[in-house]
Chains A and B, each alone.
Chain A
Amino acid sequence: MKKLILSTALIALTSGAAFAESHGMTVRMGTEGAYPPYNFINDAGEVDGFERELGDELCARAELTCEWVTNDWDSIIPNLVSGNYDTIIAGMSITAERDEVIDFTQDYYPPTASAYVALTDGADYMGGVVSAQTATIQAAHIAESGATLLEYATPDETIAAVRNGEADAVFADYDYLAPIVEASGGELMFVGDRVPLGGGVGMGLRESDAELRDKFNAAIDSMKADGSLNALLAKWFGEGVATY
């Protein structure tokens, strides 16, 4: 009797495994959901944006089933490494520092320019207080410039800090700031020159996931080759965006 139970349990276990394999691989895509146009939560409560469209297309080309998950920016790398999801696709710039901990695909967004935004033209963005999101290349840049860094957990709060006067300026990706400046109706404006930062935006993966990285690299290659990546970039970031 005991043997019978054991073998049924074993069959149940192995058949479960077989089912999992026949189902194709499910890849869990981790994103922040608070960084338009890269990624954001739309009115329907779903992940939307450039990276949603890009990720779905990449998964289709690599023949993977993808599932979207949102995670706090602060803990986005630890949760990847411990296996809560399989990729980070959250407007993350490729930097040597991050590359030590995780792996990146090739860039799907060319090296980005970051910019300062302030309430007035004469804002002191070189020596005053500048807000930036925690653990970003922008925050690292401000820390090394002469300005005082004011860090926030979400990108939205960095803008709010400028509006309510806590910071003289905000330093972030140009593409994130552009729609906000446009919608503010003259309240916010770009100041100073744009600063080129980082090595482009790529997907983050676990270092041990070389196979998955190759699949996504191949899919990005094919999207770069047939121009569909450029079309997506133009759709979400406007015609003036840098393309491949």
Chain B
Amino acid sequence: MCSDPQSIEGLTWLACYLTTGKHMSMYWALGTVLLLLAVTAPSALLFGFGGATAARSRVAPLRWLGKAYISIVRGVPDIAFFLFFVIALDQAFEWLRHQIKCPDWDKEIWQGNDFLVCPQAKLPLGTSPQWIHETYGFFLAVLTFSIVFGAFAANVIFGAMRAVPAAQIETAEAYGMSHRQTFWRVLVPQMWVYALPGLSNLWMVLIKATPLLFLLGVEDIVYWARELGGTKTPQFTDYPHGDWRMWYFFALLVFYLMFTKVSEVVLSWIMTRLTRGQATMGGEAQRKAAA
């Protein structure tokens, strides 16, 4: 029914228009963004936990490392991080592979502006299909997002660990728990309730940070909204239209608002769950309500 778009009108036209291959790419990009969030959130949390644990370590070099990670990454603008760090990371991987795979390569790796490793060391290989390149770009994106948001999460968790009442730790030690036991059995279970407000803030920022993906060659929904919404002249498409960016961005607005709402509901449920039995005002209120 969509073979001759000029002759159809109204809803049929719209249905055909919204199911072109190009629009499918946009829906696909929506999936990419959701997948990115689903993978990045836990890994950033892991980076954050690692960073915070390192920053309060009793071993000095580890503590310096954790503190340096938190303060340096938090201080560098995201966009600079995405433009510089990712290219450097990519080149570091390729340089390593180059050393292993092409030991008798006699040309320079850096020739003026050009970065040249042997073809076998390219990551992904130049011969790989496009989807491998895209997947690789996606994983670079996950790694970069995790490192950046991990630094912020580390700061939040670091603060949350210090917010756990000292009496709790002292009591644990008085019961004869070792340092490790105190950390895992008393400190970690109790700190989440202090960390959650900060972490939920980070989650909201992360949701909206995905257009940075385009800097890495991953086409996200904002790119597609701009591309699809732009004026289309009849020579180059079967579905010519004027400047429809407003409608596409409106759709994005609705999507992001709904996503935010769902996040809030889920986060408040988690908060209730975490507060249960805690020595906080919230926990006390829950106990009284139940009694």
| Cβ contact within 8 Å between A43 and B233 | no
Given A69-B133, A160-B231, A179-B233; A20-B125 close (CB under 8 Å) = yes
A residues 23-57 near B (Cβ < 8 Å) are 23, 25-28, 33-34, 36-37, 40-46, 48-49
Is B159 an interface residue when CB atoms closer than 8 A count as contact? no
Indicate which residue in A26, A36, A65, A75 contacts B236 across the interface (CB closer than 8 Å).
Answer: A36
Is B226 an interface residue when CB atoms closer than 8 A count as contact? yes
Distance of A78 from chain B, by nearest CB (Å): 8
Indicate which residue in B22, B115, B122, B215 contacts A75 across the interface (CB closer than 8 Å).
Answer: B215
| Cβ contact within 8 Å between A179 and B130 | no
**Contact stretch, chosen from B62-70, B106-114, B173-181:** B106-114
Residues of chain A within 8 A (CB-CB) of B25 are 45
Residues of chain A within 8 A (CB-CB) of B113 are 81, 101-102, 207
Binary flags per residue of B218-234, CB closer than 8 Å to A gives 1, else 0: 01000000110011011
| Cβ contact within 8 Å between B226 and A154 | yes
Is B60 an interface residue when CB atoms closer than 8 A count as contact? no
Residues of chain B within 8 A (CB-CB) of A25 are 126
How far, in angstroms, from A224 to B161 measured CA to CA in the complex? 71
Given A67-B130, A83-B115, A156-B230; A44-B120 close (CB under 8 Å) = no
Indicate which residue in A16, A36, A75 contacts B233 across the interface (CB closer than 8 Å).
Answer: A36
| Cβ contact within 8 Å between B231 and A159 | yes
| Cβ contact within 8 Å between A45 and B126 | no
Specify the chain B residue showing the minimal Cβ separation from A81: B113
Chain A interface residue number, banded:
35 or more
| Cβ contact within 8 Å between B236 and A71 | no
Residues of chain A within 8 A (CB-CB) of B94 are 83
B residues 217-269 near A (Cβ < 8 Å) are 217, 219, 226-227, 230-231, 233-240, 243, 245
Specify the chain A residue showing the minimal Cβ separation from B20: A43
Is A134 an interface residue when CB atoms closer than 8 A count as contact? no
Specify the chain B residue showing the minimal Cβ separation from A102: B113
Which of B20, B25, B126 is most buried by chain A, counting CB atoms within 10 A of its CB? B126
Residues of A within 8 A of B (CB): 13, 16-17, 20, 23, 25-28, 33-34, 36-37, 40-46, 48-49, 65, 67-72, 75, 78-79, 81-84, 86, 101-102, 154, 156-157, 159-160, 163, 179-180, 182-183, 206-208
11 A-B pairs besides A46-B21, A156-B231, A207-B113 with CB distance below 8 A are A26-B126, A42-B237, A44-B21, A45-B21, A67-B130, A83-B117, A83-B122, A156-B230, A157-B230, A183-B235, A208-B111
Smallest CB-CB A-B distances: 7 pairs: A44-B21, A156-B230, A45-B21, A183-B233, A45-B22, A45-B25, A26-B127
Residues of B within 8 A of A (CB): 20-22, 24-25, 83, 87, 90-91, 94, 101, 111-117, 119-120, 122, 125-127, 129-130, 133, 214-215, 217, 219, 226-227, 230-231, 233-240, 243, 245
